[in-house]
């Protein structure tokens, strides 16, 4: 991941040194199990724990072996010395790498979950603050009916909440390790050895394994992140729309000293939201890649390996960055109440059309006749009052105060409860 979008927390998990340390932890717990079963001599696991294998040592050895895991094992054995023959006993590379990957993915999910929960808290707070703020709703980008800004924020909140549940659900299917040998048949490592070791790592074994942890598990996690990224882009796209000059109802905060354009001093651009929209496209591309990674030859090939070195850390880097960015945007979002009210006034003859139509229908007027009459008046751009008077004369009826009925169908006393 380029420095611009790196998350320090995610980087602490996926940097090469921590990856090698996690490989070492898998080897340590496996040998600890061998000691527990009186197969290996006591003390080897402790020597593994104390041994330090640096990334530079692995890089140097890999230049010779052209195999990072084999290089790591060679160096670890040299550091441990006596008893090191039990390191990697009966294991294949994927046993160590895939088990470690599951651990790294779970740690990354934990960081993402925490940041998403922070975002949800802020969105809920802003929704409650704006529950009574009336704003013109738009469908197809065109004036529709009046709605509440709190409802818009609440809608965003609940969609992110559903995404969080998807991510939480994916944890169950990725909390899987595999220590069953080159084709998953336990030719050397017994099921008992595998189970005891994985329990120490808070993982469950792959019940019917080949050489790897099945990649549908990875795809489920990446897909959940891809859906979340699309939700973030939907929110960001709408904020960008609200900030357009001809709408001007909401704005991203603009810091002291900030410049919106190198050429035009007047510019205040929604760059945070645009950044989220762009990065979402990258995360979504990883979804397709993770699905393609499911298709491997027989018990496995390594066409997935080079891909996962990129998409696993980068997907979490980007989601972490996007969550933080959206958190900041929502926290500091500026609401232009004056412009909201101006747009409501300009849209009044349109936003009340369904209420007018519904009232005419209740008076026994043919719906299509009423619809066409309303449409004609609105297309002539009659003001709301002129439109209402025209309809009252045409159909010899009297409209009630429709505007005073605006909020009666929504119980605002239960608004906060909807977030439970």
For the annotated catalytic residues, the residue numbers are 140, 261
Residue 56 has a CB neighbour count (10 Å cut-off) of 10
C-alpha 135/C-alpha 25 separation (Å) is 56
C-alpha 139/C-alpha 125 separation (Å) is 26
C-alpha 236/C-alpha 227 separation (Å) is 14
Q: Look up residue 420 and give its two tokens.
A: 């439970």
Buried b (16+ CB within 10 A) or exposed e, 275-301: bbbebbeebbebbebbeebeebeeebe
What is the residue-wise DSSP string for 251-281? E----TT--S-SS-TT----HHHHHHHHHHH
C-alpha 111/C-alpha 206 separation (Å) is 25
Q: How far are the Cα atoms of 71, 100, 310 from residue 62, in angstroms, in the given order? A: 6, 19, 19
Q: In 202-249, where do the E strands start and end?
A: 204-205
C-alpha 236/C-alpha 273 separation (Å) is 5
């Amino acid at each position: 991941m380029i420095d611009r979008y790196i998350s320090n927390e995610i980087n602490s998990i996926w940097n090469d040194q921590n990856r090698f340390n996690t490989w070492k932890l898998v080897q340590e717990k496996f040998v600890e199990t061998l000691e527990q079963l009186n197969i290996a001599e006591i003390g080897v696991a402790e020597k593994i724990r104390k041994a330090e294998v640096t990334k530079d040592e692995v890089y140097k050895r890999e230049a010779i072996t052209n195999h990072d895991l084999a290089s790591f094992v060679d160096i670890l054995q040299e550091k441990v010395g006596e008893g090191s023959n039990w390191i990697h006993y009966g294991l294949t590379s994927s046993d160590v790498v895939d088990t470690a990957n599951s651990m790294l993915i779970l740690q990354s999910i934990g960081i993402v979950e925490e940041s998403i929960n922070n975002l949800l808290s802020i969105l809920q707070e802003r929704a409650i603050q704006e529950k009574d703020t009336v704003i013109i709703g738009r469908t197809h980008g065109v004036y529709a009916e009046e709605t509440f800004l709190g409802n818009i924020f609440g809608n965003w909140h609940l969609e992110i909440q559903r995404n969080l549940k998807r991510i939480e659900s994916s944890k169950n299917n990725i909390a899987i390790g595999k220590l069953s040998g080159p084709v998953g048949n336990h030719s050397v490592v017994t099921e008992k050895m595998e189970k005891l070791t994985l329990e120490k790592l808070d993982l469950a074994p792959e019940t019917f394994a080949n050489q790897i942890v099945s990649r549908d598990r990875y795809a489920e996690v990446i897909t959940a992140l891809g859906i979340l990224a699309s939700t973030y882009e939907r929110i960001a796209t709408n904020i960008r729309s609200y900030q357009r000059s001809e709408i001007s109802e909401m704005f991203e905060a603009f810091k002291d000293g900030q410049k919106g354009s190198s050429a035009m001093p007047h510019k205040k651009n929604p760059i945070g939201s645009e950044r989220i929209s762009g990065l979402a496209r990258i995360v979504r591309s990883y979804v397709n890649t993770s699905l393609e990674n499911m298709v491997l030859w027989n018990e496995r090939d390594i066409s997935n390996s080079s891909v996962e070195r990129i998409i696993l850390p980068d997907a979490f880097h980007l989601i972490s960055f996007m969550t933080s960015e959206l958190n900041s945007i929502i926290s500091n979002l500026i609401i232009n109440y004056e412009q909201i009210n101006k747009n409501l006034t300009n849209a009044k003859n349109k936003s009340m059309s369904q209420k007018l139509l519904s009232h005419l229908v209740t008076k026994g007027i043919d719906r299509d006749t009423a619809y066409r009459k309303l449409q004609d008046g609105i297309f002539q751009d009659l003001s709301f009052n002129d439109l209402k008077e025209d309809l009252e004369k045409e159909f010899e009826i009297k409209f009630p105060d429709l505007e005073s009925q605006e909020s009666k169908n929504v119980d605002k006393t239960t608004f906060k409860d909807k977030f439970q």
